[in-house]
Chain A
C-alpha cells in the first residue's frame, strides 16, 4: 500500500475556530505531523484554506474527521506524496 507522507488539501471552513486552532487540531491527529495552513480566500462567513500536512504515516480518514468536526469541508486533495513500504523502510 505504501505510507502517505504528504497531502495538500483544499478546505472551506467558517471563520471560527481560528486558523491556529484548526491547524493544532489537525496536528494532534499524529505524533509527528507538520501542518502548514494558508488562507487563500476569505468572505463574510467562510475562508478557503490550503493545508499542507506532512508526517511519517498520515491517517487521512482521521484528518478528514477532524476537519468535519471543526466545521470544515474538504473540497479537494490537491497533492499527495506516497512512499512505498520498501522505500519507507
Chain B
C-alpha cells in the first residue's frame, strides 16, 4: 500500500479528515491575520528597511509553525492514545500492531504537520512581495501594500474553501472571511496608527 493510500486509510478509520480540515483553516487564518497585523504595524510606523520587516515576519511565521506543530502533536497524541485504549478494552485485545495502533502513532504527526504548516506556508506566501522587493524586483504596488493584498486574497480563499466544504455559497463565505480580515486591518490601523 502506498504512503498516500495508507494515510487515507488512517484518516478514514480515525475520522480525522474533518479535524485536519478544521486545523488547516483555523491555523491558516491565524497565519494570515498575524502577518496582516505585522505588515500593517510596519506600514503605520516609521519607515524601516525591508530586510528588518522580513526578519520580523519570518520570526512570527516560524513561531506560528512551531506552536501549531507542538500543540497539535501533544493534544492529538493524548486523544489517540485514549481512543486506542478504549477500543482495546472493547475488543479485549492488543491493537498496537493493527491499523488502529498505526493510526494512534501516525495521525498525531500528520495532524500536527497540517496544523503547523498551514500558518507557516500562508505566512511565507504573504511575505513573497517583501522578498521580491528586497531582491530589487520592481512591483506594481509598494511591497507592504502588496503583502496586505495577498493576505486579504488568502483569507478570501480560505472562506471560499470553507464555503465549498459546507456546500453553501463560496462567494458569501469568502466575503465573510474577507470582512473579518478587513475589520482586523481597520482595528490595527486605528489602534497602532495613532
Interface residues in chain A, defined as those with a beta carbon under 8 Å from any beta carbon in chain B: 12-14, 16-17, 21, 43-46, 68-73
Contact = CB atoms under 8 A, between A and B. Distances in A.
Nearest to A67: B98
A43 B92 CA distance: 14
Overall SS of chain B's interface:
helix
B90 interface: yes
A77 to B, nearest CB: 17
Interface residues of B, number: 16
Interface of B: 9, 12-15, 86-87, 90-93, 95, 97-100
B12 A12 contact: no
B90 A45 contact: yes
Contacts, number: 42
A85 to B, nearest CB: 34
Nearest to A70: B99
B13 A69 contact: no
Nearest to B101: A71
B93 A16 contact: no
B99 A17 contact: yes
20 contacts: A12-B91, A14-B87, A14-B90, A14-B91, A16-B13, A16-B15, A17-B9, A17-B99, A21-B9, A43-B90, A44-B90, A45-B87, A45-B90, A45-B91, A68-B97, A69-B97, A70-B99, A71-B91, A71-B98, A72-B98
